[in-house]
Amino acid sequence: MTTKTDETEEAAEAAEAVEADGDLDALDALDDDALDALDDAAPAPAPAPVASSGVGAGATAVVSAALGLAALTGTWVGKVASERETLIGQIKAQGGTAAQQISEIYGDAWHTTALVNGVFALLALITAVVVLVRPRRPVWVRAVAVAGAVLGGIGLFLSTGMYFDLFLSLPTAP
């Protein structure tokens, strides 16, 4: 009668022979008890780490790129706010000087558009940074987030310059 230890040692030797020589006859020679002992002695494989699909991070990266693009091209919200400021300026500027009319009608609308675009640019930057600071993101997610950060940065630069009249100043009255 063979003991369980003898069967395990015999099975381990057969497994080594298979690994070293590729000799499958060594496993055929083992009886069922020895094979069962080999299975019992083998360490259980470690569970595979659960990889997140990155859907949330990918969606957030795409949103940051879309917000950056919106900051550069303008939005419906910016257009409505600009038209509102134009209307308010027309009401305030009635009977005022030409410089007051230019400032009230055009200047405030220009600055409102710049402010709304700047908010979208800032949101794009913040969203992109949130994606980029999280570890182990797929390459495409990081690439889209970097694009969102770049678009947001350019949008923030342009809207700041637009708000403070660095690129174009309001026309002056004669």
Assign 98 a pLDDT band (cuts: 50, 70, 90). Answer: confident
108 closest CA partner among 90, 93, 89: 89
Q: In this model, does residue 171 exceed pLDDT 90?
A: no
d(CA 106, CA 113): 11
What is the pTM (predicted TM-score) of this model?
A: 0.67
Q: What is the dihedral of CA 71, 72, 77, 81, to 10 degrees?
A: 110
Of the listed ranges 3-7, 64-68, 77-81, 148-152, the least confidently predicted one is 3-7
The answer to whether the beta carbons of residues 158 and 73 sit under 8 Å apart is no
| DSSP, residue by residue, the chain | ---HHHHHHHHHHHHHHHHHH--THHHHTS-HHHHHHHHHHSPPPPPPPPPP--HHHHHHHHHHHHHHHHHHH--HHHHHHHHHHHHHHHHHTTT--HHHHHIIIIIHHHHHHHHHHHHHHHHHHHHHHHHHHSSS--HHHHHHHHHHHHHHHHHHHHHHHHHTTSSSPPPPP-
The answer to whether the beta carbons of residues 67 and 124 sit under 8 Å apart is yes
> Which pLDDT does position 29 carry in this prediction?
62
Return the half-sphere exposure (C-beta side, CA atoms, 13 A cut-off) of residue 124.
Answer: 29
Q: In this model, does residue 31 exceed pLDDT 80?
A: no
Q: In this model, does residue 156 exceed pLDDT 80?
A: yes
Assign 104 a pLDDT band (cuts: 50, 70, 90). Answer: confident
Assign 96 a pLDDT band (cuts: 50, 70, 90). Answer: confident
Q: Map tokens 């003991």 to a residue.
A: 3
